[in-house]
Amino acid sequence: MASRTPDKEAVSELTTARLSVYLRSLTYLESIGKKTVSSHELAERFHLNSAQIRKDLACFGEFGTRGVGYDVCTLKKELVRELGIDRTRNIVIIGAGNLGMALADYHGFNSNGFHIAALLDNDGEKIGRTSRSGIPVIDASRTEKVVRENNVEIAIIAVNPEAAQSVYDGLVHAGVVAVLNFAPIQLRLTSGVKVRNVDLRINLESLSYHLKNVEDGVA
Amino acid sequence: MASRTPDKEAVSELTTARLSVYLRSLTYLESIGKKTVSSHELAERFHLNSAQIRKDLACFGEFGTRGVGYDVCTLKKELVRELGIDRTRNIVIIGAGNLGMALADYHGFNSNGFHIAALLDNDGEKIGRTSRSGIPVIDASRTEKVVRENNVEIAIIAVNPEAAQSVYDGLVHAGVVAVLNFAPIQLRLTSGVKVRNVDLRINLESLSYHLKNVEDGVA
DNA sequence: GCATGTGAATGGATTCACAGCT
DNA sequence: AGCTGTGAATCCATTCACATGC
């Protein structure tokens, strides 16, 4: 297979994050029957610069038509392919607490390329139950088996910060290659395993910082 | 009151996000009885550059002692003050679905400067109940009353994307001045209201992008 | 001696502006 | 004429490296 773009991994995470946003917008445009869209139109939707959108897309090839714009359907398919969600990836969530349960039933985590295979927990009370949408809670001691049998690539860590490191190490050992970590700690990483951290508290503190400055008459 | 630092709002969001992280680390260091810490020590904890930490802190004054480092307790107090969490800010969550309920009981949202006053929803089934930790679900039609009576500054939007814009507009009208939005849409913003978006799906797609590249033998 | 605080240098990401194609 | 694709220019964040002070 001929590789169109050399140096693929040189695409920044900022760019891939925006691709996700573009994809959502294209899905919407497709649903309302729009055939073509220009970078300028897309830019207006999210207060972005049109050149940035063109640059982002240019990382993967030339999809537009000069004088016209981008074909919505074609571009959407291309983004789906580039983001690697043209096939389904299996996920386990570790920690069947409030957050883990909520994420298990979160629609965006269980559609269009992602499938949550199981919740894992070591609380005997929870094991054997299911989330509202029917995802089973399995004994965390069976993590390795669940990961292998379900061909799980991604794990979501939704345990308390004290447990997170050992949970992470266990997941890596079980063969997981990507982790979404909700525990507010800096994990000691294993090379070859991609980790993304989501720190919910930081967002609140950032808002608080802003509020304080408003009070102080700065903004 | 004399302002130490001119041009305060010129602190980037990247910096404030890191301040939150430093604060968490200082809290830990304090709990294990450490009195003093250097920028280099802090940097090692999160694979950061020590100069960056010093620069981040320098936005707010000079807290260190040359040849020694930073006093853990003093620096912690200062960060708490700068982040504006030296007093409690009240929050409402709109949407008592899986996510809203989970966030209501999330420890990091209900401690150290934040208090969740209520969940709001327009589903009659849910109104009158409480979350596990006892936060009441109130009729969303009473949003304005709840916001005013509880002196709510921050709202968390945890409704579906279709409803998010009108919920946002209602919150702004009710007097909320900061919003944490979990709905995957680009809100049309009102000036004077600070918004932060948390897009959970983007994180998964970013991991997927990486997985695809690993498969393709790029990384 | 040692670690801060900071101007200067670097490195990335965004934006500009225009050549090139339809 | 209109819009893409892209080198050049700009802007912002990070890192270096050192003067300053304990």
Domain of residue A61 covers: 8-82
A41 touches chain B (CB under 8 A): no
B96 and B197 housed in the same domain:
yes
A94 and A198 housed in the same domain:
yes
How far apart CA A104 and CA A199 sit, in angstroms, is: 18
Residue B97 forms part of a structural domain: yes
A184 touches chain B (CB under 8 A): yes
B153 and B190 housed in the same domain:
yes
Residue B213 forms part of a structural domain: no
Residue A211 forms part of a structural domain: no
For A202, the closest of B20, B105, B179 (CB atoms) is B20
Residue B144 forms part of a structural domain: yes
Q: For residue A191, which amino acid is it?
A: S
Q: Which nucleotides of D are covered by protein (CB under 7 A)?
A: 1-7, 12-17, 20-22
- The answer to whether the Cβ–Cβ distance between A9 and B213 falls below 8 Å is yes
Q: For residue B42, which amino acid is it?
A: L
B12 touches chain A (CB under 8 A): no
How far apart CA B118 and CA A214 sit, in angstroms, is: 24
* Long-range contacts, stretch B39-48, CB < 8 angstroms, 24+ apart: B39/B64, B39/B69, B39/B70, B41/B69, B45/A186, B46/A186, B46/B21, B47/A186, B48/B18
Distance, CA of A25 to C1' of C20, in Å: 28
Query: Which of A37, A55, A82 delimits the end of a domain?
Result: A82
pLDDT at B6: 41
A62 and A33 housed in the same domain:
yes
Query: Which of B52, B82, B112 delimits the end of a domain?
Result: B82
A135 and A181 housed in the same domain:
yes
Residue B217 forms part of a structural domain: no
Residue A189 forms part of a structural domain: yes
pLDDT at A121: 98
Contact B24, A197 (CB under 8 A): no
Dihedral over alpha carbons B77, B82, B88, B92 (to 10 degrees) = -140
Query: How is residue A180 written in tokens?
Result: 């979404």
pLDDT at A216: 81
B135 and B39 housed in the same domain:
no
Tens of pLDDT along chain A (219 residues) come to 333 344 456 799 999 999 999 999 999 999 999 999 999 999 999 899 999 999 999 999 999 999 999 999 999 999 999 999 999 999 999 999 999 999 999 999 999 999 999 999 999 999 999 999 999 999 999 999 999 999 999 999 999 999 999 999 999 999 999 999 999 999 999 999 999 999 999 999 999 999 999 988 765
CATH number, residue B45? 1.10.10.10
Question: Which residues from the 14-33 window of protein chain A have CB within 7 angstroms of nucleic acid chain C?
Answer: 14-15
CATH number, residue A180? 3.40.50.720
- Indicate yes or no: strand C within 7 A of the C-beta of B68: yes
B109 and B168 housed in the same domain:
yes
How far apart CA A69 and CA A39 sit, in angstroms, is: 7
A98 and A172 housed in the same domain:
yes
Sequence-distant (≥ 6) Cβ neighbours of residue B181 within 8 angstroms: B156, B157, B164, B168, B187, B195, B196, B197, B198
Residue B6's φ and ψ, nearest 5 degrees, are -75, 160
B32 and B128 housed in the same domain:
no
Phi-psi region at A112: left, alpha or beta (left = phi > 0; alpha = psi -120 to 50): left
A14 and A76 housed in the same domain:
yes
A28 touches chain B (CB under 8 A): no
CA distance B185 to chain A (A): 9
B94 and B196 housed in the same domain:
yes
pLDDT at B90: 98
Which residues of B, range 73-132, sit inside 8 Å of A by Cβ?
82-85, 89, 91, 98-99, 101-103, 105-106, 108-109, 113-114, 132
| pLDDT tens digits, B186-195 | 999 999 999 9
Q: Write out the DSSP string of A158-189.
A: -S-HHHHHHHHHHHHHHT--EEEE-SSS-PPP
pLDDT at A3: 37
Contact A156, A108 (CB under 8 A): no
What is the domain count for chain A? 2
A69 and A12 housed in the same domain:
yes
